[in-house]
Structure 1
Amino acid sequence: SDKYWAVNTPSFDTIQVPYPEKENQMIITYRADHDPIVITETSNLNDIYVPISPSYLEPLLLYIAARVYTNMTTNEGNEGNNYTAKFEASIKQIEQLNLKTNVDTQNIKLDENGWV
């Protein structure tokens, strides 16, 4: 909007509030809009890009390491348990920092329109 008091998004990762007030809370809902992943019989799976939130990258790598080391028949299997513990701690940190993606939906249209 061209109005000087309007909230703007000058870039994909920025929200500009011209007159923020400490007393007012702003709730921002984000929905990723990435291209669909299409896999065909001729697809090279090594060339497929899967977008991942940066907050989930470390837990993903820890999970992969845990799976790799756990399936080894030597003493590295114990290392798999260490990576599993690190993975679980990383997931707990995501939950504590509220970085997880909520999949709950809520329909509040009836309440907003005065229905009881």
Structure 2
Amino acid sequence: MKLQDIFDHLSHGELRNVFLTDPSRGELTEENKKQLLTHVRMGLTALHTRFFIKEQVHSLVLEPGETRYVLDLPDLLRIESVKDTEDNEYLLNILNEPESLHTPNYRTLVVPASLDATMLLVTYRADHKPFGTEETYYPPNMVDIDLPPMYLEPLLYFVASRVMNPIGMTEAFHDGNNYAAKYEQACQRLVNDGYPLDQGYHQDRFHSNGWV
């Protein structure tokens, strides 16, 4: 998907009032372009956080006597699962289970002192591929957006809500809140269609391994 695809959708249909253009030229100003890119970046992160869109695997070398590891990964959103190099998967965030690994925050992994492994493979939910302010000077059809097409609709509503919220009420109707509600509805439709919020590992693994 290209940034131009997003701009095209924002400039047509019910979102046409959200597309910030120079009225005299009918196109984005550089300042409005930067503003929209900020909203797009926030929307991409919101969707990658909410849905399990992209995963990465990080090899974590364990140190003797060390049980707490901070994963300094710029695209890390949430640790999803942990395996060893022999493909044995470990329990994760199971309360009152001494063999379980835990994540006290999104980028910290605590392993039991008794864990018999020298390396772990940490699967994590990853953020979108970043793009910086220099992209504001590129033609929109040259800027890649790291998002599968089925998530485009909620992204557009997210951007619309962010743009319209500062405007507030117009004749007892709040455009920003309206688009925020449409964003939630679009996300719920994706859930209903089977697009995953998470891996669904923990509950199934806990039962299949015979812990209960």
Q: Which TM-score tier does this pair reach, normalised by the shorter chain?
A: 0.3 to 0.5
Structure that is richer in strand per residue: 2
- Scaled by the length of structure 1, the TM-score of the pair is 0.48
- Scaled by the length of structure 2, the TM-score of the pair is 0.29
